[in-house]
Amino acid sequence: MSAPNIETIVSLSKRRGFVFPASDIYGGLGSSWDYGPLGVELANNIKRSWWNWAVYERDDIEGLDSSIILNRSVWKYSGHETTFSDPLVDCRDCKARLRQDKLDTDDAGKFICSNCGSTNLTAPRPFNLMFRTTIGAVSADDDPAALAYLRPETAQGIFINFKNVLDTSRRKLPFGIAQIGKAFRNEVTPGNFIFRTREFEQMEIEYFVRPDEVQRLHQEWLDAYLEWIKSLGISAENIKLYEQSADELAHYSERTVDILYRYFPEREQEEKQWDELMGIANRTDYDLRVHSKKPEDAEGKRINPDSTEDLSYFDPQTNERFYPYIIEPSIGVNRTLLAVMMDAYTERTTDKGETRVILKLAPDLAPIKAAVLPLAKNKPEIVEMARRIKKNLQPSMRAVYDDTGGIGKLYARQDEIGTPFCITVDHESLEDNAVTVRHRDTWEQERISVDSLRGYLADRLA
């Protein structure tokens, strides 16, 4: 089972402290969200899992953390200033502003307003998605000399550091650079909770390859990501591939394959249930060329007179100099978190006919690994023992102590937030120095000695 719709996750998130509406006490700020105590743990665990998998477990990736605000020339030569836009239309009837490429059409091929159903829409015009800001103590907010942008993707910070990383790490092709960081887009129609927001986080790899190896390695990355996504506990039946058509490809891409997740299972039409979790693009040698000082256009003019570097690569084995091709797997932290929560969502009916929510998160991702619960909170020896056990677990895993309800209620609370293990300290524990470990997914219980508890849990959390 997985969540029947995103709304179920929205209410669980608010109720239990995963995600809250941002600026809520001032009426919110259109589609902005804050990550609460459990949400920040889950997001951090996803990012840690990705970094371990991408950077530590492979031998061919280096990490990077580049600036959010870059020299404006980066966005000029990357093509974002001229092409990073969505087709904006206005509904003349309800005044809604909409993205034309996301609208349905009627039988005559006319676009339908998703707000009021009218087809009385303006012609589309490009709306650039980059957030603008100014640098320094400028005299006017629109001073073009001070204009800068918040990055709409982390990728460009990687391209412009290609030579720095190559020279300092002494890498040979193929190799990659990984980065996790915030990106900003002034989306025309943000929405669907954390699926599309104006501020979000990306985990991107730019993988530099010889042009003749690009197809094989593109496929390898696709296969690798499908495996990593499954390792997050996301079931294969909620994942599918989508090959972008020529008119959907970004200006830099020769081929992009998206991995889609079933974010909208409640929709009647099967093909409308899916949307993009991530994309894996073949960006060709576009990026390293456009940021280099040497390449010339057909008339012999430098395409980038502002760059001071040449980002080509010299292959000592073949004595060739060329601009590497780039394979770019790019995935959003927030969309991953949403898919992970939706897929982990399960309901189970108790013997008494009550419905319980169980968030069957992969143990590695669970915000809290173990909850230590005293069976009698009015018995000081039991409370002391439970607190001591929690303290002993704490350095190696996130553990909590909770005595704020009856045991049934405490179990239910931990199930709902995905805690894999509840540890109950009872009267017998004082005699046999053992505790009851309850498993979230099966509700089965085992008696484990306190001395072996840490190792027992660590084995099952790995």
CA distances from 153 to 130, 131, 331 (A): 10, 12, 11
CA neighbor of 231 nearest in space, from 397, 382, 54, 442: 54
Q: Residue 275: beta bridge partners?
A: 261
Stretch that binds ligand GAP, among 328-336, 374-382, 422-430, 441-449 (CB under 6 A): 328-336
Cβ-contact 69, 184 below 8 angstroms? no
- The window from 114-122, 197-205, 264-272, 358-366 that contacts ligand GAP (CB under 6 A) reads 197-205
Greatest alpha-carbon span in the chain: 88
Binding residue (CB under 6 A) for ligand GAP from 78, 128, 197, 304: 197
Structure tokens at 199: 């501020």
Q: Which is nearer to ligand GAP, 197 or 307 (CB)?
A: 197
196 belongs to the binding site for ligand GAP (CB under 6 A) = yes
Distance of alpha carbon 156 from its chain centroid, rounded?
18
Residue 329 binding ligand GAP, by CB under 6 A: no
Q: Is residue 155 part of the contact set for ligand GAP (CB under 6 A)?
A: yes
Q: Tokens for 360?
A: 């069957």
Check: CB of residue 321 under 8 Å from CB of residue 211.
Answer: no
- Total residues contacting ligand GAP by CB under 6 A comes to 19
Among 330, 419, 429, 436, binds ligand GAP (CB under 6 A): 330
Site membership for ligand GAP, residue 291 (CB under 6 A): no
Residue number closest to ligand GAP, CB atom:
332
CB of 319 to ligand GAP, least distance (A): 32
Residue 276 binds ligand GAP (CB under 6 A) = yes
Can residue 429 be called a binding residue for ligand GAP (CB under 6 A)?
Answer: no
User: Which among 427, 428, 446 has a CA at the least distance from the CA of 376?
Assistant: 427
Task: Out of 304, 334, 424, 429, name the contact with ligand GAP by CB under 6 A.
Answer: 334
- Is residue 200 a contact point for ligand GAP (CB under 6 A)? yes
Q: How far is the CB of 332 from ligand GAP (least distance, A)?
A: 3
Provide CB contacts within 8 A for 79, sequence distance 6+.
Answer: 251, 252, 290
**Smallest distance, Å, CB 331 to ligand GAP?**
5
41 versus 187: smaller Cβ distance to ligand GAP: 187
Does position 284 interact with ligand GAP (CB under 6 A)? The reply is no
Which 70-89 positions form the footprint of ligand GAP (CB under 6 A)? none
Q: Does 66 bind ligand GAP (CB under 6 A)?
A: no
Question: Any contact of residue 202 with ligand GAP (CB under 6 A)?
Answer: yes
Do the Cβ atoms of 414 and 439 come closer than 8 Å? no
The count of residues in the chain is: 462
C-alpha distances in angstroms, 239 versus 116, 205, 233, 234, 278?
Answer: 32, 21, 12, 8, 11
Among the listed residues 153, 287, 343, 402, the single contact to ligand GAP using CB under 6 A: 153
Strand pairing class (85-90; 125-128): antiparallel
Stretch of 89-97, 113-121, 158-166, 330-338 lying at the interface with ligand GAP (CB under 6 A): 330-338
Q: Which stretch binds ligand GAP (CB under 6 A): 115-123, 194-202, 424-432, 438-446?
A: 194-202
Q: Is 331 in the site for ligand GAP (CB under 6 A)?
A: yes
Which residues contact residue 322 at a Cβ distance below 8 angstroms, ignoring those fewer than 6 apart?
A: 210, 211, 285, 312, 313, 315
Closest listed residue to residue 453, CA positions, set 432, 301, 441:
432
Specify the residue for token string 């093509």.
Answer: 79
84/155 Cα distance (integer angstroms):
14
**What is the distance between the alpha carbons of residues 449 and 433, in angstroms, rounded to a whole number?**
6
**Residue 402 CB coordination number (10 Å):** 19
Residue 173 is encoded by which pair of tokens? 């092709």
Give the Cα separation of 415 and 458 in Å (integer): 19
279 neighbors 242 (Cβ within 8 angstroms): no
CB-wise, 161 or 334, nearer to ligand GAP? Answer: 334
Q: For residue 279, state whether it binds ligand GAP (rule: CB under 6 A).
A: yes
Of the candidate residues 150, 278, 370, 457, the single one contacting ligand GAP (CB under 6 A): 278
Q: Tell me how far, at minimum, the Cβ of 276 lies from ligand GAP, in Å.
A: 5
Residue closer to ligand GAP (CB basis): 85 or 118? 85
Of residues 336-395, which lie at the interface with ligand GAP (CB under 6 A)? none
Query: DSSP class of residue 96?
Result: -
Q: Which is nearer to ligand GAP, 279 or 367 (CB)?
A: 279
Please report, as ranges, the residues that interact with ligand GAP according to CB under 6 A: 153, 155, 185, 187, 196-197, 200, 202, 204, 276-279, 328, 330-332, 334-335
